[in-house]
Amino acid sequence: MKIFSKITVILSIMVLTSACSESFFDLQPSNNVTTDSFFQTAEDFNIAVIGCYARLQGQVSFYTECCEYRSDNLSIPAPTAGTQDRYDISQFRETPANGLLQDFWMNFNNTVYRCNVVLDKIDDADFDSNLKNQYRGEMLFLRAFTYFNMYRTWGGVPTAKRVVSINEALGIGRASEQEMYELITGDLKKIVDEELLPVSYSGNNVGRITLGAARTLLGKVYLTFHRWEEARDVLSNVIGAYSLLPEPGAVFDVNNKMNAEVIFAVRFNKTVTGEGHGFWFSFPNLSDNHNQTSSLLGCFTDPRDKRRDLITYVVAPGESSLCVPQKFADSRNATTNNVGNDQILLRYADVLLMYAEALNEIAYSSSPTSPALESLNAVHTRAGLDPINISTLPDKESFRRAISVERQREFPYEGHRWFDLVRMGFAKEAMANIGLTISDYQFLFPVPSTEIERINNPSLMWQNPGYDR
């Protein structure tokens, strides 16, 4: 059987089993076609694993809506046709009926379902043990990443580490904070402690999840749960394993994908039908309101900062007027009419700034040669700026703020800002600075009403406080 036919058959069955389910776990009804006969060889599992990666392509808009428009980077001043849900998220007016949030919930849970299908079946498969470990590690990473995003969005959610029946799923309630922590870190620690994934790949496998990606994500999870020492320890193993490119713009060069700074990215290929995408953050004309806030534009206080140009809108290559941020400039493929920027989710600049954050939270250092300051300055000076003098950061709070500002300059449009603000404690202040007064309960989003109604049991599935009025 040809590879393309195998992909079509296996993914079609995985889609059918999820589509026929009414559960938030995208379950497999007992009367549905079984996938057992399709999980026999290493290549069968490889195709299924690739199908799990494929779900990430449908999650790019999550980082746009719930991380950029939710933050002080982008703001939509008024709804237009098709942007009501985005407007509501941007203005902190979203309700449990928000269609974007419903879509993200379903997409995330379908990703978990696909990962669990592979994990359920791989132990009984008979092929090379090292390859089995790799596939197992890739699935554990994607499941952990998915639950991490769900946790940061909604708090505790119903979880499953295997494919469960519909009746079982209807009896699973929202996980506690500790349960979410143990599940997410447990999956990632298994990868790291048992070294299930390779350090690197070659050929067509470049871009698959590596051991460095697992360590980086685990460090981000630890930071989110304020486990500073654990974050320091795991991130220290990533320091030096990657490198900053000399120029920040080179990181996003579509002709230099998966470069030395990129740790994990959602891959796209504009030359293959269905594997490219449209322009991100595009507007018809340079004169349009690009929704950039005064906070984003104002954070570039030094005109030498090379990162400012990356969020400057330019006419896209080959277009007459359509414009995009320089960071995502690409030209359409003549055959598919798509562009092919990768969505970079983890890169080395993030590691350096997370490492500096962990060290500062453990103990502020006034030393001009402290590892925390060195890591912060590595990112800061790469942008063409003079090193930060420790005398301007006399305490832990000022150092934390410097990291927050550096992250805003370094990662706009990359889906970090909102979660950075919540984690570092600056969300209310940052939103007030652009004219929005928010409450603590709005650090989380409302659980989609479809999920509340499906379970119909408030002791298992309840609405986040503040949205239950």
Q: Residue 81 has what pLDDT? A: 84
Could you report the per-residue pLDDT of 432-451, keeping only the tens digit for each? 999 999 999 999 999 999 99
Confidence of residue 8 (pLDDT cuts 50, 70, 90): very low
| Mean pLDDT for the stretch of residues 258-271 | 98
Domain residues of the chain, as ranges?
Answer: 1-197+439-469
| Mean pLDDT for the stretch of residues 174-197 | 98
Q: Residue 72 has what pLDDT? A: 98
CATH topology of domain 1-197+439-469: 1.25.40
CB 295 within 8 A of CB 430: yes
Record the pTM.
0.93
Q: What is the overall mean pLDDT for the chain?
A: 92
Q: Residue 10 has what pLDDT? A: 43
Q: Residue 36 has what pLDDT? A: 63
**Model confidence at 79: pLDDT above 50:** yes
Could you report the per-residue pLDDT of 233-246, keeping only the tens digit for each? 999 999 999 999 99
